[in-house]
């Protein structure tokens, strides 16, 4: 029996540069993104270290679907 510990696509962790900006999932600025986090619309980051934060891809995609965000 093999244990497969690879993360599924939804469990994948994204750094902020993968979420916002021209190549990201959300077309918002850094300050707008953190304002949405503070307002509770987006999830709080998962702290991976003292200066490293990430977000679950599934949580970000759920917000995009809920909010009807398009990246056109």
Quote the pLDDT of residue 4. 53
Quote the pLDDT of residue 21. 86
Query: 21 lies in a domain?
Result: yes
Burial 4-40 (b: 16+ CB within 10 A, else e): eeeeeeeeeebeeebbbeeebbbebeeeebeebeeee
For residue 53, the enclosing domain spans 10-67
Query: 72 lies in a domain?
Result: no
Task: Enumerate the β-bridge partners of residue 14.
Answer: 55
Query: 27 lies in a domain?
Result: yes
Structural domain count of the chain: 1
Mean pLDDT of 36-56: 95
Tell me the pTM. 0.78
Query: 1 lies in a domain?
Result: no
Query: 63 lies in a domain?
Result: yes
Q: Which residue has the higher pLDDT, 66 or 71?
A: 66
Query: 62 lies in a domain?
Result: yes
Quote the pLDDT of residue 11. 81
Q: Which residue has the higher pLDDT, 54 or 4?
A: 54
Q: Say if residues 20 and 64 touch (Cβ distance below 8 Å).
A: no
């Amino acid at each position: 029996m093999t244990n497969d510990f690879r993360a599924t696509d939804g469990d994948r962790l994204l750094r902020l540069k993968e979420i916002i900006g021209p190549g990201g999932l959300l077309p918002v600025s850094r300050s707008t993104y953190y304002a949405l986090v503070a307002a509770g619309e987006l999830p709080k980051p998962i702290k991976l270290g003292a200066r490293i934060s990430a977000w679950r891809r599934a949580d970000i995609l759920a917000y995009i679907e809920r909010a009807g965000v398009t990246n056109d």
